[in-house]
Every structure is written in structure tokens, then in C-alpha cells.
Amino acid sequence: MRKINIFDTTLRDGEQSAGVNLNAIEKLEIAKQLERLGVDIMEAGFPASSQGDFQAVKTIASAIKNSSVTGLARTNKKDIDIAWDALKYSQEPRIHIFLATSPIHMTYKLRKTPDEVLESAVSAVKYAKQKFTHVQWSAEDATRSDKWFLARILTEVIKAGATVINLPDTVGYTTPKEYGELFTFLKENVPNISEVTLSAHCHDDLGMATANSLSAIEHGVGQIEGTINGIGERAGNAALEEIAVALHIRQDFYQAKTTLKLDEIKHTSQLISKLTGMAVPANKAVVGANAFAHESGIHQDGVLKEKTTYEIITPELIGVSSNRLVLGKHSGRHAFKQKALELGFDLSPEKLKEVFDAFKALTDKKKEVTDDDIFALLADKQTEQ
Ligand code: KIV
Ligand code: ZN
């Protein structure tokens, strides 16, 4: 089974979510939880972006022992020097340098020719290599870049000493097939590519970040980047919990695994939601409040008989104690009886039917029927006995 390294960027790309601003204490608390979750690498921030981020990265780099810590840098020497000052005390100093390679970014944002971009990337990697053993280089907007130019620049940055090559789908533009084919093309056209680990970094603008990341795994990448709860710029980054659980549940298909402690997922998700102020949608895959909730009578009857009828993930796998049978207008008698027993009422079948009918009438009037409502109906019926 191939091991996929998990590169968490919740504290860098995740913090780039509109309206999110974490202080150094909150960043450290999240970093410690990411270490418990078992991420291989965490990107703690962008040290040159602000004094606050520099301090946060430095504190995290010294405190975290079981994950590798990295920080983002542009291709200039100043960014690389600042990153070194923040990261030099980490167990395994690692830098992440990026530069855009797409015609759109090179023309309008960088105002540089492809040759100038290549030269800048190569000299930055060479310079960083004098300090860092691990140098990751990212071709920003790789999926809208010319693939022959990508092949050329990758060949040169690998010669300059890059150890990881990341191909970000910066604007969430690619599709699973196309992204997979890009990795295949580069494996065939970059002669020294086997010297590095390939990495995928996906954004969710078209809702395909998880699918694109999984396709990259099918096409041989050894590292996946993303955030917890999928937070990040615009529509966010690939949600790491979705990718890790998909690999676990579909080991038969992907033949690849992570070493994340999956039962830390729910707690990590809740902590990040609390500290960033970004609520997790109830129907979010894996970590949403409804991910293990069953409402319809047919589904409830199924899971009461055998959970695997409607649950492909056990709640325990991600650290949730049990599934939930939610009683609403689609619910059936079996789940209602179960709820009555849980609330301490063992009524005769006739009485139970009468309360069930009353409950159904109530669901047409009330949007949410609570346990208290059901308790009141059951208690009334019991007193009649
Ligand atoms: O999406 C992106 O291109 C990035 C890079 C800085 C790696 O986050
Ligand atoms: Zn990104």
C-alpha cells in the first residue's frame, strides 16, 4: 500500500479565507492538534508576510516535534532569509517557494517573460538550498500553464535542488481527468522527475478539489495538500479529511493510505471551526453534523437492522460516538419506538401507535420536533394508562 504524505495548509492557505484572522496562541493550539492528527507536514504561515506570522511560524517550528513544519516564501532572497529565521529550529527545516507559471499570471501579475520566471525560480531554489535540506517548489497556476514550459522549468528547478514539486490548481479550474493527465505528461517529459516527490494542491471553485486530489493520487503523486474543513481562499482548498477517509474506505480502489489518526478528525474539525469562526455546513462530507444522521423511515429501519445498509463510514472512525436517528416527517415506527425506549417509555403497541400518529401530526405543524416534544406526547399517553 503506497503511503501518501499529508501536507496541511490550514494555518496558511486556510487562514487566507475571507474574514479569518488567527492570533499566535490560536495558531499554536491548531498546530498541536494537527500534530495529534498526524499530519506529515504543516505549513504554519508565510513568515515574510507580517511580523505576527513570522512569530507564529517560529513558535510552531520550535514547539512541534512529530510533524515537519514549513513556511511559504516568494522567490526573493529576503523572503527566504526570513523563512529560515522562522524555521531553523524546527526538527526538519523545510521551505515552500512559489512562482506563477501561467501566461495570465506571468503577463499581468509578474510582468515577466517565461525565461525570466525560469531564472528567478532556479536562483531562488539554489539560494534556499544553501540553508534548507527540503525545498518545495510550486508552479502557481500550474493547471493554466503551458505544459511544455512546465516540463522545462521543472527540469531546471529539480537540477537546482528542489526535493518536492507541487502543481497547484490555484483557481480550481482543472478536472480530475485533465489534472491526472498533467502529472502523467510531466512524468514522461521531465527527465529527472523521479528524484522528487510530486504534490497536488487543489482549490474548490468548481467543487472538484477532492476529486482532483484523488485523481492526482491515481496518477502517482506522493503528497496531497489541503486544509481541514476545506477552508481557504474563495471556495476553499481540498478538504483533507475527505481525502484521507476516501483513501481509507476505498483502499481497494486507490491502493494508497495516509498515516493520519482518523479518530482525531472530528475534534480537529470542531476546533478549527471554533477558532476560525467558520461554521461547518451540516451536510458537509465526513465532518458535517448530518454526516451520520438518518431521517427517513426507510433509512432508519435499514440502519436499525444493519448499519452498513446506509452507512459507508462508521462514526467511530472519525471520532464521533454514534450515528443519530433524527425524528421528522419522513421517520417511521421503528425509529420512533427506539426513541420512546431511549426516553424511558415502554408503551403497549396500541398506545405507541396513537402517540406515533400524534407525533406525525405534529411534524406537519412544526419544522423541528424535539426530544422534549416527543417526551411530552409519550408522557401524556402514559398517564392515560
Ligand atoms: O493555490 C496556490 O497556488 C497556492 C500556492 C501559494 C502554493 O496556495
Ligand atoms: Zn492555494
pLDDT tens digits, one per residue of 272-293: 999 999 999 999 999 999 999 9
Q: Alpha-carbon Rg of the chain, whole angstroms?
A: 25
pLDDT tens digits, one per residue of 126-177: 999 999 999 999 999 999 999 999 999 999 999 999 999 999 999 999 999 9
What atom in ligand 1 is closest to the CA of residue 138?
7
| CA 179 to chain CA centroid, nearest Å | 18
Closest CA to 225 of 30, 42, 38, 26: 42
What atom in ligand 1 is closest to the CA of residue 171?
1
Ligand closest to 236 (CA) is 2
| CA 362 to chain CA centroid, nearest Å | 40
102, containing H or E segment: none
pLDDT at 367 over 90: no
What atom in ligand 1 is closest to the CA of residue 142?
3
pLDDT at 384 over 90: no
Contact at 8 Å (CB) between 179 and 220?
A: no
Closest CA to 162 of 127, 187, 189: 127
Q: Ligand 2 center to residue 204 CA distance, Å?
A: 10
Q: Which residues contact 341 (CB under 8 A, 6 or more apart)?
A: none
| Distance from C-alpha of 78 to C-alpha of 71, rounded to nearest angstrom | 14
Please state, as a whole number, how many other Cβ atoms lie within 10 Å of the Cβ of residue 54: 19
**pLDDT above 90: percentage of residues in the chain:** 94
pLDDT of the residue at 177? 98
Residue 169, Cβ density class (10 Å: 0-12 exposed, 13-18 middle, ≥19 buried): buried
Ligand 1 pocket member 170 (CB < 6 A): yes
As given in the structure block, the three cell numbers for residue 351 are 398506545
* Neighbouring residues of the ion ligand 2, judged by CB less than 5 Å: 13
pLDDT band for position 338 (cuts 50, 70, 90): very high
Ligand 1 pocket member 168 (CB < 6 A): yes
DSSP 8-state class, residue 171: T
Ligand 1 pocket test target in 140, 141, 203 with most atoms within 8 Å of CB: 140
Helix, strand, or coil (residue 340): helix
Ligand 1 pocket member 201 (CB < 6 A): yes
Residue minimizing CA distance to atom 2 of ligand 1: 170
| Distance from C-alpha of 287 to C-alpha of 89, rounded to nearest angstrom | 34
The ipTM (two decimal places) reads 0.99
Ligand 1 pocket member 98 (CB < 6 A): yes
What atom in ligand 1 is closest to the CA of residue 203?
1
338, containing H or E segment: helix 333-342
DSSP 8-state class, residue 308: G
Ligand 1 pocket member 12 (CB < 6 A): no
pLDDT band for position 385 (cuts 50, 70, 90): low
Residue minimizing CA distance to atom 5 of ligand 1: 140
| Distance from C-alpha of 168 to C-alpha of 344, rounded to nearest angstrom | 55
